[in-house]
Amino acid sequence: MIPLSDAALSVLGGSYRYYCAVESWLDGQLLADNIPVSVAAEETDRGIRVPERVTFTVPALDGGVPWSPVGDDHPLAANGQRLHVKLGVGGGSGEVEWFSRGRFLIQDSAVDGDVVNVNAVGLLALIDEARLISPFQPSGTLASTLRGLLEPALTVLVDPALVDRSVPAAVNYDEDRLGAALELLDAWPAYGYVDPEGFLRVALAAQSTTPVLSLTDGQGGTVIHASGNSTRDGASNVIVSRGTASDGAQVQGVAYLSSGPKRASGPFNPLPVPEFFSSPLLTSIEECTAAAETIRDRKQRENAAAFRVEMVPHPALQAGDVVALTSERLALDAVPCTVEALTLPYTNPAPAMTLTARRLA
């Protein structure tokens, strides 16, 4: 969750005023400091390569200022322009606490009658579209390789708690720059995410289980539904990670799903149903096992029971946060769940915020 003061958090528990301000930047230069956004909302889904999508509606003409993207350096053009979204929370005293919600790349903008519709995406889109022109053969460490793949498009900040290690000479990445970065993170193992200031932060892959927010069915407009979807397609209950040791021998690590409906040796299938992960970055059994356990934990989370939550907007809540769900109707008693996807309105009158939350094992 985005850090807020105790005063702002206390206001979010009741009645508060909601504010949104959007800036446009291009190549480090401020193009507009207060775009007149009439409607805006964010959709984030941890299950896709570029998780964030944000839509904005802007008047085509506001106070005599045209907002049609007619020039290459117009604030709403799609030539590298980035939108910095700041949200504000105000209480009865009239003071507003502003904070950064995120920085997003304009994907496209088009005039539709008297409004301009703008679609923006998370900054990982810069990496996704930048295919490697020639094979990339790193010679350094995991951290320097990640920086070589992502910078200068995204500045990489590595948590000092992560143990860096050398990259084997056999590593060679071809074309898919973002895919290479995601493979590196799994092999480390580490978790990478773009923070509200636009930096790529790399941290330990361990999942927090401490809720940042408690939600009770019916309280404050919160509604919790059980999501009814289940499939065998693409399911697995054991992760097998493979690499190559310095002497050329194949090394392997295995991690089994130990809980949930698709757990290993359970009724889903008494035999192992494997998913394979191979990377030249893995050079020992220990490294292979750590990677397998990280991928297993992600699969276990993806297979867990899902709930759809409708609630009063909480502008500091982020995908990946843990919330505690309580519902007498669904027999949930402060059950910790991870936020896998969310839809957050930015503007008033704000409709309900929606979450897809999956139960932690």
pLDDT in tens, 2-15: 999 988 888 886 67
Q: What is the pLDDT of residues 65-101, one digit of tens each?
A: 999 999 999 999 999 999 999 999 987 677 899 999 9
Instruction: Identify the residue whose tokens are 């220990």.
Output: 286
Residue 325: predicted pLDDT: 95
Q: How far apart are the first and last CA of the chain?
A: 21
Q: Which of 33-47, 249-263, 276-290 has the lowest mean pLDDT?
A: 249-263
Within 10 A of 243 (CB to CB), how many other CB atoms are there? 24
Per-residue pLDDT band for 300 (boundaries 50, 70, 90) equals confident
- How far is CA 209 from its chain centroid? 17
Specify the DSSP element, H or E, that contains 179: helix 177-187
Strands 306-311 and 353-359: antiparallel
Per-residue pLDDT band for 360 (boundaries 50, 70, 90) equals confident
Question: Do 81 and 24 form a contact (C-beta atoms < 8 A)?
Answer: yes
The dihedral of CA 284, 290, 293, 295: what is its sign?
negative
Residue 13: predicted pLDDT: 66
Strands 65-66 and 39-45: unpaired
Q: What is the DSSP letter of 361?
A: -
- Scored b (16 or more CB within 10 A) or e, 320-346 reads bbbbbbbbeeeebeebbbbbbbbbbbb
Q: Record the pTM.
A: 0.92
Within 10 A of 215 (CB to CB), how many other CB atoms are there? 24
Q: What is the DSSP letter of 350?
A: P
φ and ψ at residue 108, rounded to 5 degrees: -160, 160
Q: What is the pLDDT of residues 142-200, one digit of tens each?
A: 999 999 999 999 999 999 999 999 999 889 999 999 999 999 999 999 999 999 999 99
Q: Which of 26-40, 178-192, 294-308, 328-342 has the lowest mean pLDDT?
A: 294-308
Question: Do 143 and 158 form a contact (C-beta atoms < 8 A)?
Answer: yes
Q: What is the pLDDT of residues 188-220, one digit of tens each?
A: 999 999 999 999 999 998 778 899 999 999 877
Separation CA 285–CA 275 (nearest Å): 17
Average pLDDT over residues 339-352: 91
